[in-house]
Amino acid sequence: MAIAFVLLNVNLGTEEEILARLREIVGIREVYQVYDVYDIITRFEAESMEKIKGILEDKVRRLVNVRNTLTMTAV
């Protein structure tokens, strides 16, 4: 089982919208709004890092108002 934490920066005022959309994506187990350098932190869980990479590239990074992401792989 692969686990990764992904931190997101989103456009100001769109946090709630992005949180709701992230909660709908299969493979994302937890989603939290945070206050600091990043706006949202998520915990991904999938069979492989390739699947996590696919979810991140195909679904998360394509969301309107997501400015950038930082992925941290759990070992």
Q: What is the pLDDT of residue 35?
A: 94
Looking at residue 55, what is its pLDDT? 96
pLDDT digits (tens, 9 = 90+) for 19-58: 999 999 999 999 999 999 999 999 999 999 999 999 999 9
Is 44:16 a contact under the CB 8 Å cutoff? no
Cα separation, 75 vs 65, whole angstroms: 30
Provide mean pLDDT across the span 66-75.
Answer: 96
**pLDDT tier at 65 (50, 70, 90 boundaries)?**
very high
Domain annotation for the chain: domains and CATH numbers: 2-73 (3.30.70.920)
